[in-house]
């Protein structure tokens, strides 16, 4: 087929309620008026199949937009700030430490432009916001979403007003302010911020990426599935481990794998989905362990603030994905989260934030409980960067050795540190 005969028809057709299948037009709507269930974007998969192949994707941009046919935007020029195509790293030292043979790390700690997976969802949401005619964009955020919305709105020339809980880490606050949005720090937790934003969205006619644009926004997370499949040589993994906040990311990686199989880009198979939460905010994990199919909201209390959502919008759908794929959902303590951050850094050279520490700690816990087979091709999703949550590990990472600019001062310090290391090592073997 020549370039000229490829008709790039719109591949997304309507919005549809997750329960009951009620259809809606492609506008800024987020919940079904009849069933009260969330709305999702529906596609014409025959049209997608006709437009894409492994070769056309490989020849596409080095960003999430190589998968544009699977995303709900029409523009020929979507907002492309280099988001996506982050490294999929084969793990050697962490894998050996855990006793796994085929472990891969999907490293969104280096996603562009703001170093978390949220740049994927925001690139899609703001492209769609422009198409729908919004001039002011907004969000309710646990931190990373505020960074990403402010940065990409700046790039796109959109007005931006974002809402966060007032107790976030300094790096998340500064990492938003630098882009000069209006930043509202709300005296309350994320669930209270979110409720306030729903009221503002109804009154102000702004495009809230994770409220009235949520159907479009959430589709951006599918690219975390597509990229892993492509980077594994057009194959699906056996098992994935990913963090859960609202549960959206988790369900969309699943949707991404299903779609790739549906249009014939990969062979179909059951991929097991395991989810990670912090014990101090684990409503989905609790429901999983108690065999419930509903979520009981909790009040968050954990250092893993970026995933601290006590009343998760997609919690029941995440539960369903974990159960029907024979996966698991686990939670870990704040102390284990810190250990998880250190473990990933010391074995693989990746500094992740508390959400990544949670995911690594849950991976370890699942392996130790025999819930991940050492031979399975397992992908662990690292979704954010440790430089943004430095408070979490302050005091747990040792101190620099302060010396005079003299050789003998250096040598004394080196001797002292080697002796200390030996003592510590002896303590660990007795």
Interface residues toward ligand PLP, by CB under 6 A: 116, 118, 142, 144, 243-249, 306-307, 353, 355, 383-384
Is the CB of 116 or the CB of 302 nearer to ligand PLP? Answer: 116
Across 189-203, b (16+ Cβ under 10 Å) vs e yields: bbbebbeebeebbee
Least distance to ligand PLP, CB of residue 110, Å = 13
Least distance to ligand PLP, CB of residue 250, Å = 6
Q: Nearest residue to ligand PLP, using CB?
A: 384
Smallest CA-to-CA distance from 362 within 296, 297, 298, 279 is with: 279
Q: Which two tokens stand for residue 27?
A: 């506008």
Is the CB of 110 or the CB of 420 nearer to ligand PLP? Answer: 110
CA dist., res. 16 & res. 26, Å (int): 10
Is the CB of 52 or the CB of 288 nearer to ligand PLP? Answer: 288
Is the CB of 47 or the CB of 304 nearer to ligand PLP? Answer: 304
Sign of the CA dihedral 356, 357, 359, 360? positive
The three-state secondary structure class of 44 is: coil
Least distance to ligand PLP, CB of residue 301, Å = 18
CA dist., res. 395 & res. 387, Å (int): 15
Contact present, 152 and 123 (Cβ < 8 Å): yes
Is the CB of 78 or the CB of 386 nearer to ligand PLP? Answer: 386
Least distance to ligand PLP, CB of residue 116, Å = 5
CA dist., res. 140 & res. 169, Å (int): 16
Contact present, 313 and 18 (Cβ < 8 Å): no
Least distance to ligand PLP, CB of residue 64, Å = 15
CA dist., res. 44 & res. 317, Å (int): 23
Least distance to ligand PLP, CB of residue 108, Å = 8
Is the CB of 85 or the CB of 122 nearer to ligand PLP? Answer: 122
């Amino acid at each position: 087929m020549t370039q000229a005969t490829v008709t790039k028809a719109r591949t997304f057709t309507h919005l549809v309620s997750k329960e009951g299948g009620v259809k809606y037009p492609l506008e800024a709507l987020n919940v079904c008026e009849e069933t009260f269930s969330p709305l999702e974007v529906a596609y014409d998969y025959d049209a997608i199949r006709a437009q894409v192949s492994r070769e056309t994707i490989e020849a596409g941009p080095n960003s999430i937009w190589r998968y544009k046919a699977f995303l709900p935007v029409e523009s020929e020029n979507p907002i492309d700030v280099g988001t996506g195509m982050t490294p999929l790293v084969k793990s050697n030292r962490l894998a050996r430490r855990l006793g796994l043979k085929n472990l891969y790390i999907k490293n969104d700690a280096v996603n562009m432009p703001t170093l978390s997976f949220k740049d994927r969802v925001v690139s899609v949401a703001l492209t769609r916001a422009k198409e729908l005619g919004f001039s002011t964009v907004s969000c309710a955020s646990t931190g990373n979403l505020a960074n990403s919305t402010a940065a990409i709105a700046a790039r796109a020339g959109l007005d931006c007003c974002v809402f966060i809980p007032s107790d976030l880490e300094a790096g998340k606050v500064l990492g938003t302010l630098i882009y000069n949005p209006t930043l509202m720090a709300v005296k309350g937790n994320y669930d209270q911020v979110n409720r306030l934003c729903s009221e503002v969205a109804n009154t102000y006619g702004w495009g809230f990426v994770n409220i009235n644009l949520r159907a479009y926004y959430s589709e951006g997370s599918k690219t975390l599935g597509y990229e892993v499949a492509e980077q594994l040589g057009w194959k699906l993994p056996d098992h994935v481990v990913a963090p859960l906040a609202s549960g959206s990311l988790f369900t969309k990686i699943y949707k991404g794998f299903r779609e790739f199989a549906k249009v014939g880009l990969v062979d179909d198979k059951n991929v097991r989905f395991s989810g990670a939460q912090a014990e101090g905010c684990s409503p989905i994990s609790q429901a999983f362990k108690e065999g419930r199919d509903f979520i009981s909201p909790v009040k968050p209390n954990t250092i893993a603030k970026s995933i601290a959502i006590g009343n998760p919008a997609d919690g029941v759908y995440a539960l369903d994905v974990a159960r029907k794929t024979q996966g698991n959902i686990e939670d870990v303590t704040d102390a284990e989260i810190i250990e998880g951050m250190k473990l990933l850094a010391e074995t693989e050279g990746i500094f992740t934030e508390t959400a990544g520490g949670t995911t690594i700690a849950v991976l370890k816990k699942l392996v130790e409980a025999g819930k991940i087979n050492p031979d399975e091709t397992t992908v662990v999703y690292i979704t954010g960067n440790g430089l943004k949550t430095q408070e979490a590990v302050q005091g747990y990472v040792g101190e620099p050795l302060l010396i005079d600019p003299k050789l003998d001062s250096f040598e004394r310090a080196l001797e002292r540190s080697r002796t200390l290391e030996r003592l510590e090592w002896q303590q660990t073997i007795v």
